Amino acid sequence: MKVIMQPVGFVRTEARQIPKHFSISQVEGELVIDEAYRDGLEGISPGDRIVVLFWFHKSEKFSPAYLKQYPRGDRQRKKRGVFNLCSPIRPNAIGLSIVHVLEKKGTTLRVRGIDMLDGTPILDLKPCTEIEGDGKP
């Protein structure tokens, strides 16, 4: 089976230093969504948290050598399987971040929590919902 995806937009940020994970990021930027998807943004408002699925477009090409990796920046720990890491070097270079919507202007969402580079292709947006009974997003 072949899966083909087209970006729905891209990330715009002036930040040069990007945190390694959205959960520690205070970086602000914009999610610029293609005009063709304007109606798909209906209901997204400032104050919302949204899930951003994106493509690690500057990541190294995956090979079997990357099936086990050290957690980023920590070679003192034991290697772990790629599916147990947030590494950008993956069989399918898909990333996931949860960001806070600060402002919505047309098809541009100003957000906080960016851990993506300027120009990163956005594959999809989803609402950030709580898991029933968990109390956590």
pLDDT top residue among 133 and 108:
108
pTM summary value: 0.88
What is the DSSP secondary structure assignment for residue 107, as one 8-state letter? T
Classified as helix, coil or strand, 110 is strand
Which pLDDT score is estimated for 12? 97
pLDDT above 70 for 74: no
* pLDDT over 70 percentage in the chain: 91
CB 3 within 8 A of CB 28: no
* pLDDT over 90 percentage in the chain: 73
